[in-house]
Amino acid sequence: MNDRFLRACRREPVDMTPVWFMRQAGRYMASYRAIRDHHTLLDICRNPELAAQVTLQPVNEIEVDAAILFSDLLLPLEPMGIPFDFVKGEGPVIDPPVRTVERIDGLRRFEPRESLAHVLDTIRLLRTQLDVPLIGFAGAPFTLASYAIEGGPSSNYARTKALMYGEPEAWHRLADTFATIVADYLTAQIEAGAQAVQVFDSWVGALSARDYREFVLPHTQKIFATVAPLGIPTLHFGTGTTTILAEMREAGGDVIGLDWRIPLDDGWAQVGDDRAVQGNLDPTLLLGPVERMLRGAHDVLQRAGGRPGHIFNLGHGILPSTDLEHVRTLAHFVHHQTA
């Protein structure tokens, strides 16, 4: 069993810097596209054999030190009473979006062991097949609420912020509902065998530190406070978070994700050396000349300086137009730079 990733989460010494990639399973891989030709994204997520097969693709094709469950952030919305679908070329469409206090108050808590049993079955199946740790995940309240309220991706989160500022009590009820559900869902994933869990707050960088503290921190903190006693490493990720790293740290996570906007050592100084960090190469560098990509990776590793508690990753997910060969080269480079 390769436990470098788990050791780094706990800031223990490792033989090589562990590496995995957000969105390591996906359209940039021919093996993934071959399955997607015959199944929708949601079909794959809801079928444990297919979801496990897709999870294993990057583990078999790239030198990664962890697997991430193949699933989607939005799966908990449906059993709460928020229907959605993935529309080709548009991404997720949530219809009807959550735009009224009545709708917020009508959202349901649900039992993830029933409504999302297929996800837990995927985890159990994967644990019999993997020789690297399996990362489970869920969305954080802000990012989930932003999809529910905006109805899909957004550039300014205007409706989400309008709810926060205009109906703060309703916002807090909504965020607390998400926090309760996510804490429960992650607990179920850990019971099923997830060996670490990552909370994705991908879009929370849209908030100021003050708004983060008022509208987000208590809710995200509730998730980490519930999961921490279960004893497995927790990771907390967002993008555009350069000005809120101290607040994210306070909310929780043994490992704090850094995006590419901040040099890794500056980010780590803000996070504090009692936490591990994950990151933070710009995913766009994987599209360009390999030389430049490797220079970027070298810089990240230099800034980490061989200190225990660095997990190499990108600042955000692998882009669909990425060449698999570049990803393979990068993972190999990370391992052997630091051997």
User: Which among 152, 270, 137, 272 is positioned nearest to 203, based on CA atoms?
Assistant: 152
Handedness of CA 322, 325, 331, 333 (dihedral sign): negative
Candidate ranges 18-26, 76-84, 104-112, 209-217; the one touching ligand CP3 (CB under 6 A): 18-26
Check: CB of residue 243 under 8 Å from CB of residue 208. yes
Q: Indicate the burial class of 23 (C-beta count within 10 angstroms; 0-12, 13-18, 19 or more).
A: middle
Q: Which is nearer to ligand CP3, 25 or 262 (CB)?
A: 25
Active site residue 23: yes
Q: Give the DSSP per-residue string, 2-46.
A: --HHHHHHTT---SS--B--TT-SSTTSHHHHHHHTTS-HHHHHH
What amino acid is encoded at 83 in this protein? P
Can you tell me which of 9, 11, 18, 26 binds ligand CP3, judged by CB under 6 A? 26
H/E stretch holding 91 reads strand 91-94
Q: Determine, following the binding rule CB under 6 A, whether residue 317 of this chain makes contact with ligand CP3.
A: yes
The encoded tokens of residue 272 equal: 């504090």
Per CB under 6 A, which of residues 92..151 are in contact with ligand CP3? 92, 137
Q: Determine, following the binding rule CB under 6 A, whether residue 202 of this chain makes contact with ligand CP3.
A: yes
Q: Determine, following the binding rule CB under 6 A, whether residue 62 of this chain makes contact with ligand CP3.
A: no
> One of 3, 27, 173, 249 is an active-site residue; which one?
27
| Cβ partners under 8 Å of residue 121, min gap 6 | 48, 192
Q: Determine, following the binding rule CB under 6 A, whether residue 24 of this chain makes contact with ligand CP3.
A: yes
| Number of alpha carbons in the 13 Å side-chain half-sphere of residue 73 | 25
Q: Determine, following the binding rule CB under 6 A, whether residue 27 of this chain makes contact with ligand CP3.
A: yes
Q: Which is nearer to ligand CP3, 92 or 309 (CB)?
A: 92
Active site residue 72: yes
What amino acid is encoded at 105 in this protein? D
Q: Determine, following the binding rule CB under 6 A, whether residue 91 of this chain makes contact with ligand CP3.
A: yes
Q: Determine, following the binding rule CB under 6 A, whether residue 70 of this chain makes contact with ligand CP3.
A: yes
Active site residue 27: yes
Smallest gap from Cβ 151 to ligand CP3, in A, equals 12
Q: Determine, following the binding rule CB under 6 A, whether residue 241 of this chain makes contact with ligand CP3.
A: no
Candidate ranges 11-19, 69-77, 100-108, 181-189; the one touching ligand CP3 (CB under 6 A): 69-77
Smallest gap from Cβ 88 to ligand CP3, in A, equals 8
Smallest gap from Cβ 169 to ligand CP3, in A, equals 27
Candidate ranges 7-15, 85-93, 113-121, 322-330; the one touching ligand CP3 (CB under 6 A): 85-93
Active site residue 36: yes
Which residues face 313 on adjacent strands? 280
H/E stretch holding 257 reads strand 255-257
Q: Which residues of 263-286 are buried (b: 16+ CB within 10 A; e: fewer)?
A: ebeebbebbeeebbbbbbbbbbbb
Candidate ranges 20-28, 101-109, 123-131, 166-174; the one touching ligand CP3 (CB under 6 A): 20-28
Q: Determine, following the binding rule CB under 6 A, whether residue 315 of this chain makes contact with ligand CP3.
A: no
Active site residue 185: no
Determine the Cα–Cα distance for residues 207 and 180; give it in Å rounded to an integer.
Answer: 22
Q: Determine, following the binding rule CB under 6 A, whether residue 279 of this chain makes contact with ligand CP3.
A: no
Determine the Cα–Cα distance for residues 315 and 252; give it in Å rounded to an integer.
Answer: 19
Check: CB of residue 40 under 8 Å from CB of residue 111. no
Q: Determine, following the binding rule CB under 6 A, whether residue 190 of this chain makes contact with ligand CP3.
A: no
Can you tell me which of 14, 22, 204, 294 binds ligand CP3, judged by CB under 6 A? 22
Q: Which is nearer to ligand CP3, 224 or 237 (CB)?
A: 237
Instruction: Enumerate binding residues for ligand CP3 (CB under 6 A).
Output: 22-27, 36, 41, 68, 70, 72-74, 86, 91-92, 137, 153, 200, 202, 317
Residues marked active site are found at: 23, 27, 36, 72, 147
